[in-house]
Structure 1
Amino acid sequence: MDSLDVDPTRKLHVVAMPYPGRGHINPMMNLCKLIASRRAYIVITFIVTEEWRGFLSSDSKPANIRFRTIPNVIPSELVRAKDFPGFQKATVTEMEAPVEQLLDQLEPPKPSVIIYDIYLGWVVGLGSRRNIPVASLWTMSAVVFSMFHHYDILVQNGHVPANLSERGKEIIDYIPGVASTLIADLPTFLKLHDKGLDQVLYRAMDAISRVPNAQYLLFTSFYELERQVIDTLKPKFSLPIYSIGPAIPYFEFGDNRSPITGHSEPDYMKWLDVQPRGSVLYISQGSFLSVSSAQLDEIVAGIHDSGVRYLWVARGEISRFKEGGGDRGLVVPWCDQLKVLCHSSVGGFWSHCGWNSTKEAIFGGVPVLTFPIFWDQIPNSKRITEDWKIGWRVKREEADETVMTREEMVDLCRGLWSWKVMRGKK
C-alpha cells in the first residue's frame, strides 16, 4: 500500500479507468497528475493491465496516485495495429469482470467517482451497480464527439456510408457546432464502415450512447479552442459538461516554457541545443499505425533530398531511417514530445494528427505538416490546415492509394519553411 501522509477520514478516492492505448492513457494520467498535485487529500487509483503497468513503471507521478493492475485479458496476438477490431472487442468484453473484482479489493475509502474512458462504456453500468458516480472522459476533440453523437443525422441525410472516390467532396454543413466539412474529412469509421469494420463503429456508438447515463462529461480540450461545439452540446445533455484543458504535460514547464527537470538532458535535447533556431523538422507518426513500406521509403528519401534538419521518432528498424535520411538529422526510438516541440530549434512538426499531438503542436506554436492515417486524425488534419490555418496537408485523400513521391515530399518540406517566412513577415 502506498504511504500517504493524509488523515484517512479526509481522503477522497478517485478511480481512473483508461482505455489501454497510449493516446488514451496519457491524457487520463495527465488529468490525474493535475488533480493529485493540487489536492493531497485525493487518492487516485489508476487501473491498467499488467502490460501497461510495465510501460508506465518509469514515469514519475505524485505519491497520491497508485497503480493497480488487472491481468492482460487482451490476447497478445491482438496487436492493435494488426487487428484493431479484435483489440477493441477485447476491451469491451474481457476487461469488466477483472476490474469489478479489483474494486472489491481496493483499500478504503470507497471510490467517490470513477473517471473512465468513454470507449469503455461498460463502466457506466459498473458504477450504477455500485452506486458510484462516473465521469466520462473523451480523449478526442469535442468536434469529433459531436460528429459521433449526431451520426443519425448523417445517416438521415444520406452522407454515410459513402464511396469517397465518388462523394468525398460533398459538403456537410449541418452538424451542430461543427464548421462545414467534406465527407472525406469525417472520422474514418463514420464513413468507411462498409469495409468490413461495422463492429468497430457499432461498439464506439454503443459506448457513446451510454454517456447520458453518466454523471459528468469531460472533454480533453480547452473551451476557447472549441467554444462553438461545446456550447452547442451542453443543452443536449442533462449532465454537466466540462472542458478540463488540453490534458498534456504542460504543468512540467516553467512560466517561460522551459522544461523543469532535475536530470541531465537526453542526447536528443543536447543535439537540438546546437541546431539553428527554427531549423529542425520534428517527425512522428504516433505510437499506433504506420504507413505502407513503399510510402515510408519515399518519405525517408524525400526528407533526405530536402536538406532539412530533422529529429525523427521511428518505431521499428531505426537503421532504415538512419541509412536513408542522411547526416542532417537524428533518429530516436522515443522522445519527450512536448519538450521537443517547445524547443527553439524546432520549426515544424510532421504529424499523424492524433489529438494529443495536435494540442502539443498548438501549445508549442509549431506549424504542422499533416499526414493522418486513421480515426479522428482525419478531421484533426482538416482543422489544422483549413480552420486554424496552422499547417499544410501532406496526405490529402484518405481513399487515395497513390504513394506520394519523394519529389512531393521535398516540395512540402521546403514549402513549409517558405510559408513560415511569409507568415513571419505579416
Structure 2
Amino acid sequence: MDPSSLQPIKTCHVVAMPFPGRGHVNPMMNFCKHISMTRPTTTLITFIVTEEWHGFISSDPRPANIRLVTIPNVIPSEIGRAKDWAGFIRASLTKLEAPVEELLDRLEPPKPNVIVHDTFLKWMVDVGNRRNIPVASFWTQSATAFSIFHHFDLFVQNGHFNVNLTEKGKEQIEYIPGVPKMRISDLPTPFFSPKGQEVFHDCMECIWLVPKAQFLLLTSTYELETQVIDGLQKEFVFPIYSIGPAIPYFNLNDDSASTYVDQSEPEYVKWLDAQPTSSVLYISQGSFLSVSNVQLDEIVAGVHDSGVRFFWVTREDLSHNEKKGDTKAIIVPWCDQLRVLSHSSIGGFWSHCGWNSTKEAIFSGLPMLSFPIFWDQTTNTKQIVEDWKIGWRVKKDDGSLITRQEIARLLQKFMDSESDEGKEMRRRAKELQVICQKAAEKGGS
C-alpha cells in the first residue's frame, strides 16, 4: 500500500472536569489514566483543575497524553473548604463556569469530542450543549446513591424526607426501583440531616439536569449493583455505563504502568512486609470530615487497648496517644491506600465508608468496620453490612459515644479470622474481590 494513501490516526480529545474535592478528582483521574493507557496514541485528555488541585497533583506521575490545565480557586485553601463546606459547594456551582468557558474557547485544536464532567458541576451540561460537544455525566458515588437521589419525589410522596430519626429512623423503605429495602437512617444524610440540607436543593438540581447530558458514567462494578443499574437503564433514553471502580488498580503488578509509577519503596511498606499475613487492621476515616475529639480519644484508646496490630493513616495529631517502642503499630499522615490494602499483611479495614474506599476494600478482598460520618457513607455502610455481608457497623444508630472498652472488644473479635463469623465474612469478601477483579479484566463488564 502506498504510504501516502494512509489516513492519519484521528485523535479523540476528551475534556475532563472533576469537582474540586479528593473523592471526585481521584476517580476521574483514574478513569482518564485507564483510557490513556488503553488508547495511548489516539487519545488526548485535557484535565481541568483548580490552582489548588494543580498544586496537589501536578507532581503525580501520569501518562503523557493527559495534560493539566488550571482555573482559579473558588475558595482560597483546603482549610477554608473545611470551615465553610456549604459555601464551598455553592461557589463551585456558581463561580467555576465562566473560567471554564474561557478556557474551552482558547484550547488548541483538536476540538473536544466529549466533555466528561462531575455530575455536581451542573452547569457543564449547558456549556457542552452550547458548543455542540457531547457531555458525559460522571457520578462518583454508588449507583444506589444515584437512584435514591433520582427518585427523591417518591420519598416526599411517602413522607420519608426530613424526618425525625428517633421516631422514624427504623422504618423500612422498599419502593426505589432496583434498590433493596433499607431503613430511613440508611439513606444519605441530606435526607434527614440539617447540615446536609444546607445544600440539598443545589445538589438535587445537579441530579435533575443529568437527563440533559448524552451519557451517564457510574463509577461502580455492574455485578455489585446489577438490579439498580438495570433499573436506571430502563429510565433514561441515553446510554448508562458502569465503568468499574475508577481506582488505580492498573498500578498493581502491572508492568505496562511502570513508565509513570514511582517504584520506590516507602518505609511503611517495609513495615508491612515485616508483619504476619492478615494480621494488621488498616484504619482511615477519610481526609475531610472527622469525628468529635471526645470520640477520637475513645477510638485511639480502644485501638491501643485491643492489642491488634494496626496501620493508621490520619492527619490528626495522635502523638500524645502513641506508645513508644510499639512495633505492632504505625501511624502515617498519608499512604498509597490501594497498595496498602492489597498488601498480604492487611486483614481488615476500619473506614468512614466513602465510595472510593469501599471500592478499594472490595477490590482488595477485605472485610470492613464501618464508621460513616456524612452524605452517602451511611448508604454505603448499609450495602457493606446487609447487602454484601462483608462488614460490621461500629457507629451506633443513635450516634452516641462508643467507649474504648466497646471498641477494644469489637476489634479483637473482628480480627479473629478463626471464628465462624469471621471466616464467613472473609470468604464473602474474597468472593466479591474475584467478581470485581474479573470485571476489570479485558472483556469484563
Q: Tell me if TM exceeds 0.5.
A: yes
Distance 1:412 1:240 in 2: 44
Distance 1:103 1:325 in 2: 55
Aligned-partner SS, 2:15? strand
Aligned to 2:12: 12
Number of residue pairs matched by the alignment: 415
Aligned-partner SS, 2:13? strand
1:66/1:84 Cα in 2 relative to 1: closer, same or farther (>3 Å)? same
- Alignment-mate amino acid for residue 414 of structure 1: Q
1:147/1:44 Cα in 2 relative to 1: closer, same or farther (>3 Å)? same
Is the deviation greater in 316-325 or in 202-211? 316-325
Distance 1:326 1:84 in 2: 37
1:196/1:313 Cα in 2 relative to 1: closer, same or farther (>3 Å)? closer
Aligned to 1:407: 405
Aligned-partner SS, 2:233? helix
Sequence identity of aligned pairs in percent? 61
Aligned to 2:395: 395
Aligned to 1:103: 104
Is 2:149 the partner of 1:151? no
TM-fit CA distance, 1:324: 9.1
Distance 1:36 1:406 in 2: 47
Equivalent pair of 2:287/2:314 in contact (CA under 8 Å): no
Aligned-partner SS, 1:91? helix
TM-fit CA distance, 1:386: 1.0
Aligned to 2:230: 231
TM-fit CA distance, 1:128: 1.0
Distance 1:203 1:304 in 2: 42
Distance 2:52 2:325 in 1: 33
- Alignment-mate amino acid for residue 409 of structure 2: D
- Alignment-mate amino acid for residue 415 of structure 2: W
Is 2:82 the partner of 1:81? yes
Alignment of 1:119-268 (within 5 A): 119-192=120-193, 195=194, 197-254=196-253, 263-268=263-268
Aligned-partner SS, 2:322? helix
Aligned to 1:343: 343
Equivalent pair of 1:78/1:86 in contact (CA under 8 Å): no
Equivalent pair of 2:191/2:197 in contact (CA under 8 Å): no
Distance 1:268 1:123 in 2: 41
TM-fit CA distance, 1:230: 0.4
1:255/1:95 Cα in 2 relative to 1: closer, same or farther (>3 Å)? closer
- Alignment-mate amino acid for residue 272 of structure 1: L
Aligned to 1:53: 54
Distance 1:8 1:18 in 2: 31
1:251/1:197 Cα in 2 relative to 1: closer, same or farther (>3 Å)? closer
Distance 2:323 2:43 in 1: 50
- Alignment-mate amino acid for residue 412 of structure 1: L
TM-fit CA distance, 1:299: 0.4
TM-fit CA distance, 1:71: 1.0
Distance 2:291 2:269 in 1: 27
1:99-118 Cα distance to aligned partner (Å, 9 max, x none): 11111121111110000000
Q: Normalised by the size of structure 1, how large is the TM-score?
A: 0.93
TM-fit CA distance, 1:328: 2.3
Equivalent pair of 1:282/1:349 in contact (CA under 8 Å): yes
Distance 2:146 2:389 in 1: 22
TM-fit CA distance, 1:325: 11
Aligned-partner SS, 2:263? coil
Aligned to 1:416: 414
TM-fit CA distance, 1:396: 2.8
Distance 2:196 2:336 in 1: 34
1:379/1:210 Cα in 2 relative to 1: closer, same or farther (>3 Å)? same
Equivalent pair of 1:314/1:321 in contact (CA under 8 Å): no
TM-fit CA distance, 1:327: 4.8
Equivalent pair of 1:341/1:364 in contact (CA under 8 Å): yes
Is the deviation greater in 388-397 or in 345-354? 388-397
Alignment of 1:236-315 (within 5 A): 236-254=235-253, 263-315=263-315
Is the deviation greater in 58-67 or in 322-331? 322-331
**Any unmatched runs of 5+ in structure 2?**
1-6, 428-445
Distance 2:78 2:300 in 1: 29
Runs of 4+ in 1 over 6 A off after TM superposition: none
1:320/1:92 Cα in 2 relative to 1: closer, same or farther (>3 Å)? farther
1:257-276 Cα distance to aligned partner (Å, 9 max, x none): x9996622100000000001
Aligned to 1:4: none
1:321-365 Cα distance to aligned partner (Å, 9 max, x none): 535995520000000010111111000100000000001000111
1:275-319 Cα distance to aligned partner (Å, 9 max, x none): 011110000011110000000000000001000111000113242
Say what the alpha-carbon RMSD is for the aligned residues. Answer: 2.1
Equivalent pair of 1:151/1:190 in contact (CA under 8 Å): no
Distance 2:360 2:164 in 1: 33
1:150-192 Cα distance to aligned partner (Å, 9 max, x none): 0100110001111011110000011111001000000010222
Is the deviation greater in 410-419 or in 214-223? 410-419
Aligned to 1:65: 66
**Any unmatched runs of 5+ in structure 1?**
1-6
Distance 2:414 2:27 in 1: 29
Distance 1:322 1:353 in 2: 25
Aligned to 1:358: 358
TM-fit CA distance, 1:255: 7.2
Is the deviation greater in 323-332 or in 222-231? 323-332
Distance 2:300 2:59 in 1: 31
